[in-house]
Structure 1
Amino acid sequence: MSSRVGLRFLNNTRFAFRNASGPFRRPGAQGFRFSSSEAGAAEQQSTFQRIWNSPVGVKTVHFWAPVMKWCLVIAGISDFARPAEKLSLTQNAALMGTGAIWTRWCMIIKPRNVLLAAVNFFLGCVGAVQVTRIFLWQRSQDGSSAEAAKELEQEAVASVKAVADQAEGAAKKVVDKVEKST
């Protein structure tokens, strides 16, 4: 019931503003109507007609390019399941850079294309996640190879010490034999 009261209030105030002799008009005022017939026709268009005739509407490339670009976002999201060693750093860095640059550019160009900005934002986010995964994987590999190198170094030092001890023992035997023979 309250929505009907609101609707009645809206209709009554519309009538009052449009009526030349209404309480909100100055005497002799022309009214608030648009002077061109095109603006009046735009006022009476349905939502579908406004979307259809919009500068970024369904009939234009400004609509269909972002729709097709969502395929890149979906492909990037499906790569979340792939191991990081099989991902391409250059490809994902390019996706991240493209997303960042074009998100900003979509807000500058006329007509401003929010749908394209949204898809580019998510493309940049997907690229950033993948690049982060690749860097973390590479860092973990560097860490494990460093640990392996430390283990190899310790083994090498131990074997060198063992060889040095054997050589030292053999040298002492030779020195002892020489001292006894003299």
Structure 2
Amino acid sequence: MSSRVGFRFLNNSRFAFRNATAPFRRQAGQGFRFQSTEAGAEQQGSFFQRMWTSPVGVKTVHFWAPVMKWALVIAGISDFNRPAEKLSLTQNAALMGTGAIWTRWCLIIKPRNVLLAAVNFFLGCVGVVQVSRIYMYRKGLEGSAEGAAKDMEKEAVESAKGVVTAAEGAVKAVGEKAN
């Protein structure tokens, strides 16, 4: 029974997908060319046709990048249950920063990608919540806000120095291999 339902869905949706790809098919006796459409013609047709031919539609990276990036948001939300002492400040600060930067950038680029802006906005929100949880935890341990902020700053500086040291080591290794 389940195979019949899938078969019916395939047969019913085949017509919509066939019409969506019609402008890209070769015409007999002609070279490959796109058919032009009148202004507003893309508003006509089924939902599947509009999603297929859209500049941020299903066949582009502009659609699949936000879909895959929701995994980061879900992972960040699942960390809400973890104790604050086990959270990484640098990781959550990076999520917060990339969420803020790319939310703005997604609204500037052409085609404007609202789906990617939405996922980046929520990624930034998750980062803000987690960084604030880490800050409040460390503030509670230290007893003052200045001590917690200095501790967080010290951790960020140490992490950056570790990255620089690792990069310098990699450059030296590549230089030694070249000689």
Normalising to structure 1: TM-score of the pair? 0.57
The answer to whether 1:39 aligns with 2:34 is: no
- Structure 1 CA distance for aligned equivalents of residues 43 and 101 of structure 2: 36
- Structure 1 CA distance for aligned equivalents of residues 143 and 44 of structure 2: 67
Aligned pair count reads 109
Cα deviation, 1:66-85, whole Å, max 9, x if unaligned, reads: 00000000000000000000
1:147 corresponds to: none
- Structure 2 CA distance for aligned equivalents of residues 89 and 37 of structure 1: 52
Provide the secondary structure at the position in 1 that maps to 2:37: helix
- Structure 1 CA distance for aligned equivalents of residues 70 and 112 of structure 2: 18
The alpha carbon displacement at 1:43 in A equals 4.7
Which aligned pairs between 1:22-171 and structure 2 lie closer than 5 A? 38-39=37-38, 41-143=41-143
Provide the secondary structure at the position in 1 that maps to 2:111: coil
Provide the secondary structure at the position in 2 that maps to 1:92: helix
The alpha carbon displacement at 1:114 in A equals 0.3
- Structure 1 CA distance for aligned equivalents of residues 55 and 114 of structure 2: 12
Structure 2, unpaired ranges of 5+: 1-34, 145-179
The alpha carbon displacement at 1:52 in A equals 1.1
- Matched letter for residue 72 of structure 2: L
Tell whether the 8 Å contact from 2:103 to 2:117 is kept in structure 1 after alignment. yes
Structure 1, unpaired ranges of 5+: 1-35, 145-182
Distance change >3 Å, CA 107–CA 131, structure 1 → 2: same
The alpha carbon displacement at 1:44 in A equals 3.5
Normalising to structure 2: TM-score of the pair? 0.58
The alpha carbon displacement at 1:37 in A equals 5.2
The alpha carbon displacement at 1:55 in A equals 0.4
The alpha carbon displacement at 1:38 in A equals 1.0
- Structure 2 CA distance for aligned equivalents of residues 82 and 65 of structure 1: 27
The alpha carbon displacement at 1:42 in A equals 2.8
Divergent runs of 4+, >2 A: 40-45
Tell whether the 8 Å contact from 2:95 to 2:124 is kept in structure 1 after alignment. yes
- Structure 2 CA distance for aligned equivalents of residues 126 and 97 of structure 1: 11
Provide the secondary structure at the position in 1 that maps to 2:77: helix
- Matched letter for residue 130 of structure 2: Q
- Structure 1 CA distance for aligned equivalents of residues 36 and 68 of structure 2: 36
Greater Rg over alpha carbons, structure: 1
Cα deviation, 1:59-106, whole Å, max 9, x if unaligned, reads: 000000000000000000000000000000000000000000000000
Distance change >3 Å, CA 132–CA 38, structure 1 → 2: same
- Structure 1 CA distance for aligned equivalents of residues 46 and 72 of structure 2: 33
Tell whether the 8 Å contact from 2:43 to 2:50 is kept in structure 1 after alignment. no
